[in-house]
Amino acid sequence: MRIVSITLNPALDLTGQLNELVVDSVNLVDQADLTPGGKGINVARVLADMGTKSTVSGWLGSENQDPFVHLFSAIDAKDEFLRQEGTTRTNVKLAEVNGRVTDINFPGMAIDHQAVQRMEKKLVELAQDHEWFVLAGSLPRGVSPTLYQRWIELLNQHGAKVIFDSSGDAFSYGLEASPYLVKPNDHELAQWVGHDLPDESAIVAAARQLITKGITHVLVSRGSKGVIWVSAEQVVKAQPPKMNVVSTVGAGDSMVAAMAHALTQGWDVTKSVTYATAVSALAVTQVSVGISDQSKLESLIQQVQVCELPNT
Ligand SMILES: Nc1ncnc2c1ncn2[C@@H]1O[C@H](COP(=O)(O)OP(=O)(O)O)[C@@H](O)[C@H]1O
Ligand SMILES: O=P(O)(O)OC[C@H]1O[C@](O)(COP(=O)(O)O)[C@@H](O)[C@@H]1O
């Protein structure tokens, strides 16, 4: 069955690779890449490389939709995006040779009440014949920050399982609806809990607060330090090997896609977390999103170190 991947605020990602970014000066880009993105769309792309089909939806600007439509066809994603008059935003990513990435994310199209109602109807329709939903990314302008919360509640009522990845207020409200799995990075989790998370036990304690809200799986991603997965029964940590970073754009989305794939395949915790860590570590070695080299992925899977942490 297809996984539904929702992107309410998609983007064309314009990535420039350059030696060093110097603010307040003219910077020359060595290599440029323009590709359709946004969190749920990136998830769909990675899922396709894993052999898992998706249905994609959200709001798409009708004036510059061609690259998105081509991508959906190339990855055999069922296109259920609602078209909006206007253009989808372009986000700029500047990747320096030292691995540092500067994201310049624009706000996106304004969405009105009618469009929200149409999308809500679409979600209910999709919930009739899909079980798994990924809701990922920021909310566009004009909608309530409680929108994810309302829609996760709605999807839960229809028996769907929701994998949720967002940030700021949209993320905080969404958590109140008890999605099935959430993937904050450590900064997003610290922001939610309201204090720094200086060590692993602080991360586990904060994640546990999410578990008490009825969330089944909490994956806290930690950049080069990998991930800590917390559920009611188990706490597992996975560490990727040291990677040559080209661009971290899409690393989080790759992890979400790998987890969605693992859950729908019914894999155990160790296999799932190892796979998700390897897929996301591979993502940082390339500008593009997706599994570019299957043998490199196999080798990374062997190099990921997984251990259990005390479940206290
Ligand atoms: N420098 C890195 N080296 C190896 N793996 C990385 C690196 N940065 C990110 N990853 C992998 O990608 C995952 C997601 O990255 P992270 O930066 O935590 O999320 P997000 O992109 O959502 O902020 C990490 O948990 C890790 O597995
Ligand atoms: O939905 P947001 O938070 O505005 O972010 C959108 C951006 O995030 C991306 O999905 C990349 O995400 P990650 O780097 O967090 O994996 C880009 O494709 C897109 O430009």
Of 42, 182, 185, 291, which is best to mutate to test ligand 1, by the most ligand atoms within 8 angstroms of its C-beta?
Answer: 185
pLDDT in tens, 71-96: 999 999 999 999 999 999 999 999 99
**DSSP assignment of the chain:** -PEEEEESS-EEEEEEEES---TTS----SEEEEEEE-HHHHHHHHHHHTT--EEEEEEEEGGG-HHHHHHHHHTT-EE-PEEESS---EEEEEEETTS-EEEE-----B--HHHHHHHHHHHHHHHHH--EEEEESPPPBTS-TTHHHHHHHHHHHTT-EEEEE--HHHHHHHHTT--SEE--BHHHHHHHHTS---SHHHHHHHHHHHHTTT-SEEEEE-GGG-EEEE-SS-EEEEEPPP---S--TTHHHHHHHHHHHHHHHT--HHHHHHHHHHHHHHHTT-SS-S---HHHHHHHHHH-EEEE----
> What pLDDT is attached to residue 172?
97
Per DSSP bridges, beta strands 90-96 and 11-18 are parallel
Match 């560490």 to its residue by tokens.
239
Measured at the CA of 129, the angle between CA 128 and CA 134, to 5 degrees, comes to 95
Q: Which atom of ligand 2 is nearest to the CA of 37?
A: 18
Identity at 11, one-letter amino acid code: A
Which residue puts its alpha carbon closest to atom 5 of ligand 2? 137
Q: What is the ipTM of this complex?
A: 0.98
Q: Which ligand approaches the C-alpha of residue 14 most closely?
A: 2
Q: How far apart are CA 258 and CA 162, in angstroms?
A: 15
Closest CA to 107 of 134, 80, 89: 89
Q: Which ligand approaches the C-alpha of residue 274 most closely?
A: 1
> What pLDDT is attached to residue 310?
86
| Residue 44 CA, ligand 2 centroid: distance in Å | 13
Task: Identify any residues that bridge with 291 across adjacent strands, giving them in sequence order.
Answer: none
Residue 249, ligand 2, Cβ within 6 A: yes
Which residue puts its alpha carbon closest to atom 17 of ligand 1? 223
CATH homologous superfamily of 3-308 equals Ribokinase (3.40.1190.20)
Residue 252, ligand 2, Cβ within 6 A: yes
pTM, entire model = 0.97
Q: Which ligand approaches the C-alpha of residue 15 most closely?
A: 2
Residue 9, ligand 2, Cβ within 6 A: yes
Residue 43, ligand 2, Cβ within 6 A: no
Residue pLDDT tens, the chain, 312 long = 899 999 999 999 999 999 999 999 999 999 999 999 999 999 999 999 999 999 999 999 999 999 999 999 999 999 999 999 999 999 999 999 998 999 999 988 999 999 999 999 999 999 999 999 999 999 999 999 999 999 999 999 999 999 999 999 999 999 999 999 999 999 999 999 999 999 999 999 999 999 999 999 999 999 999 999 999 999 999 999 999 999 899 999 999 999 999 999 999 999 999 999 999 999 999 988 999 999 999 999 999 999 999 887
Per DSSP bridges, beta strands 161-165 and 181-182 are parallel
Residue 240, ligand 1, Cβ within 6 A: yes
Residues annotated as catalytic are: 253
Which residue puts its alpha carbon closest to atom 17 of ligand 2? 38
| Residue 13 CA, ligand 2 centroid: distance in Å | 9
| Residue 94 CA, ligand 2 centroid: distance in Å | 13
The rounded Cα 221 to chain-centroid distance in angstroms is 11
Residue 300, ligand 1, Cβ within 6 A: no
Residue 248, ligand 1, Cβ within 6 A: yes
Identity at 158, one-letter amino acid code: H
